[in-house]
Amino acid sequence: MFSLRNVNPINLLKHSNGPSSNARRSLANVAAAAGKRSGIQLNDVVHGFQLRELQPVPEYNMTALQFQHLKTGAKYVHLQSDDSNNVFSVTFKTPPLDSTGVPHILEHTTLCGSTKYPVRDPFFNMLNRSLSTFMNALTANDYTMYPFSTENQKDYYNLMSVYTDAVFSPLLNELDFKQEGWRLEHENPKDSSTPIIFKGVVYNEMKGALSDPSQLFVSRLQQRLYPGTTYSTVSGGDPENITDLTHSALVDFHTRHYHPSNALFYTYGNFDVVEHLKRIDERVRDIQPLSKQPNPLGSIVPFDKPQHVVEKCPPDPMGNPEKQTKVSVTYLTNEDRDVQESFAIRVLTSLLIEGAASPMYKALIETNIGSDYAASVGYDNGAWQTSVSFGLQGIRPDDVELVQRKIKEVLETVAKDGFDPQRVETVVHQIELGMRHRVPNFGLNAGFNVSRVWAHDGDVLESLRTAQQIQRFREDYRREGNKYFRDRIQRYFLDNSHVLVFVMEPSTDYLNTLAESEGRRLNTHVSSLTDNAKQKVFEDGERLIKEQETKKDLSVLPTLETSDIAKEGKSYPVELIPVGSASSHATHAPTTQWRSTNTNGVSYITLDSSAFSSLPRDLLMYVPLFCSALTSLGTKTKSLAELDEEIRRLTGGVSASSYESIRPDSLFSGGRTHFAVSTSCIHSLGASDGVDAERLAQVYDLLREVLTETAWDGPEVEERLTTVLVGLASNGMNSVVHSGHSFAMVAAQAAEKFGPTPYAVNEELTSGLTQIGFVNNLASGEINIPDIIQKLKLIAAQLLGNKSDMRFMVNAIDSVKSVHMSELQRLSNVLNLSNSGRLGGSNSDAPAISTRTSQNSYSLFPLPIQVNYTARAFLTVPYTHPDVAPLSLLSSMMTSQFLHRELREKGGAYGGGARLSPMGGTLSMFSYRDPPSGMSRTLETYDRAIDWACGIKQHVNEKTLSEAKLSWFSKMDSPVAASAEGSALFQHGVSDEMKQRRRQEVLAVTLDAVQDVAHKYLAGSGVTSSVAVLAAEESIKSIDGMKEEWEVRRL
């Protein structure tokens, strides 16, 4: 996996398993407890590792231990915690010297077999032999990381063995390099008369990645900001350069960089660190010293004056053609290893850009110069010397200088006038609130932070002490006042010569130019081939196919057994509590689903209504805009800036959204469109562990104000709504390129000829390609804001006028229950809420299943992309149907045993598989970032996948079935955030009892049952399917000769 930008550590650490309010101990006691628990004291040597540092991190209820391996020099950080979701990773510094993508292709190729595990693709095979909660690998700008997490100790050491052998003893076969990186191969590898083309998993992945307008913008900007350094390359690989990489260069890069002396081991959780040390030492102690030095990061030579660069990009066919220019002004700032200074600049950047009260928002967004901030905007620590960027996308070419001028004016004004101290404290409050959130991936996110800081030669343990950074910031700001920020604005922005003004303009010839360039490169490669070399290309293609199709003995890989699966699943019991007494006009009181759980002093509140279920479809299309506008317009008593600051001061944010639900026992009845508004807030008074009743009252008042007093009228409202609308439209294409396979699946499931379910239809209308096209049409040309406002008013009236079926969900500790229930009663009285006790209406006129008519459907969506996303959907059964269990395992085995090989290994797609939607009642096959020439092959692969599935007993055995069960349970049993406990019941009516029954059904599934459902739902009499393809405009030619009746659908 290629990661273009790094995540800020504050954003990583804001999702934590922090201390419960009654578990705060002195630093000395924490360190002593850690030493006693592990039996290791400072400077002790255990299994070849010396403990160099031992530091408590009480804000996250953990202790950090930093070791060094005395023989090899390997660094090792362990974060000791009571968290059961244990994490392991090994990271290497891998700064590239060119854009051939060598670190990225090496990341892929190391996972294609090792000395101890000489099988094809042990990584993907382990996905089915494990109960992991996360498995992946990623390439950043200057390091490569191999992380996993699991709650099962046996699984943990199985995966550690596979991962460490993969990185230190990979086979690095040339055929694997050609499969994962790039190769010359006949379009049909079995037919030497077909053209020779470029293929390769990473090659197509990066064609897709750089089709994403945001990734392209950020990548090209970074290359220009850091000339002459490793950051002037594309570490993931630029397709223009990937085809220059040789297998020998890949092997040499591994020799230079994948060595313990250039590695950081990281572990987190409640497993014994001594056992970790033992196993890591056994793996690395006999590795010989490094013979070649790793590539250096390189020094950065400051610009002597600001630079101005213009580059081209593909146009957005759905956007306003006159406003598609992007511009950013980016400043080189501090060294990433200076943790405290990084904290200061991050706070400064937040004050400048975040929220409606921020000066950049007022100058750039409210003025509607552009559609949204440019993708680069913010503080970026992806390089060892960080940067801050301001800018806009969706502007007119003539407004580039205007944007630059406004950015400079904002910086000059803020340097002169400073910030309101309350705004400064609000930013810090957001960080403190974030520290309290209890989510399952904290250890993984902390590992990302640790790896980046280590790669940039920073103090890893200092980077974890967020509370210390906050305390020092407050002390310095209190002492210096506005001078604290004024000096930094002057130094990093106003007096800085290392500034890049980066402009990206659309070109209608962009994709043609890329295609012509690829054609020239291909011609150069092919024309240089001798007859013998051409024969070798053909033979290599045949050898690769033979290798891909040869069944390997996987018994060498470690595995769990079904006996390792917990018989009882995790449960999240809830209470259903009527909110006081019903109003005089109601027949039932609204209900609160109360989930009592440890939330570290945070309350999670959701108000839910199914009032939108009776909206006509023309209004339903406006629901996403309504949800975005609700907190973006201000209220009758507060300006947008005042409202935004109030939200930030009191909560972790207020979000409005819609979602689809359907009865667990039916696909064609009981469908509902829900509106939900959610927030989180600190409910404790801190060290006293009391309840801040006044704060909770203010939070509920805020929810009421957002729901009932949003300002829908006035010139300012019209301008703000225009801002919201244009912002939604500009982000649409980015989301399609990033998640094209998901959009393709939803489009296939909702195709009219297919006879779709209400769930699928409404999902497409509110979050699919139809919604993206709708919003872009609204935002193009002359925007009729008055008409849109009238539509939004009708939706608001529907929400507030139909108050039956409103309900609440609160996740918090029991000690605050009475305060919440009192506030909920007050809110209910103000809103005059009731609950009818009946199912709401439905905005779907879909027929009952007994009258459903269905035909095969084929849809092509032409888009400005260099890769394809292809989906084929089949209707199945509702959640509670017993066939869901074998269907779940069928989709898993179709992915791991057939589609992965055919789509990724043979076809060159970055990914592909089969996915069952238990709530939506569909099974879909999909490809992700498929070669543009591969549409016919992918569709033919889906046909063969059905034949394979219908004869699955000939292809797999009981061991394979057990592995599919392990894969299913690894997802089923993954830990969830405190805020999400009980959400399946609240949103979809799926109870813990239903989940437990499903566990038992899955454990009991036989291969006979899997083959039966394959026949029944994929190939039985009357079975129909729906195909949706997202592809380049030229793909229209490829469907002309197909026998199916295709519909070309333009957004």
- Looking at the DSSP bridge assignments, the partners of residue 313 are 506
How many angstroms separate the first and last alpha carbons of the chain?
30
Closest by Cα among 656, 687, 682, 660 to 671: 660
DSSP 3-state percent helix, strand, coil across the chain (nearest 5): 45, 20, 35
DSSP state of 1040: T
CA-based R_g, the chain, Å:
29
Distance CA 635, CA 356 (A): 13
Q: Is 748 helix (H, G, I), strand (E, B) or coil?
A: helix
Exposure string of 33-43, with b = 16+ CB inside 10 Å and e = fewer, is ebbeebebeee
3-state SS string for 160-182: HHHHHHHHHCECCCHHHHHHHCC
10 Å CB burial of residue 341 (0-12, 13-18, 19+) is middle
DSSP state of 563: G
Instruction: Tell me if 664 sits within 8 A of 994, measured CB to CB.
Output: yes
What letter represents residue 461's amino acid? L
H-helix segments, 361-499: 400-417, 421-436, 442-455, 460-464, 466-480, 483-489
Closest by Cα among 869, 872, 862 to 738: 869
Point out the catalytic residue in the list 107, 185, 205, 660: 107
994: Cβ–Cβ under 8 A, 6 or more apart, which residues?
664, 879, 880
- Strand-pair category, 499-506 with 307-313: parallel
Distance CA 877, CA 860 (A): 27
Q: What tokens appear for 257 in the block?
A: 């960089």
Q: What tokens appear for 1016 in the block?
A: 């029944």
Determine phi and psi for 666, rounding to 5 degrees: -155, 140
- Alpha carbon 459 to its chain's center: 27
Distance CA 743, CA 218 (A): 24
User: What is the total residue count of the chain?
Assistant: 1051
What letter represents residue 87's amino acid? V
10 Å CB burial of residue 416 (0-12, 13-18, 19+) is exposed
Q: Is 401 a catalytic residue?
A: no
Distance CA 633, CA 635 (A): 7
Distance CA 897, CA 949 (A): 10
Q: What tokens appear for 1002 in the block?
A: 């899955």
10 Å CB burial of residue 454 (0-12, 13-18, 19+) is buried
Q: Is 982 helix (H, G, I), strand (E, B) or coil?
A: coil
Handedness of CA 204, 206, 210, 214 (dihedral sign): positive
DSSP state of 22: T
Q: What is the DSSP string of 926-959?
A: EEESB-GGGHHHHHHHHHHHHHHHHTGGGT--HH
Q: What is the DSSP string of 752-780?
A: GGG---HHHHHHHHHHSHHHHHHHHHHHS
Distance CA 631, CA 644 (A): 8
Catalytic residues: 107
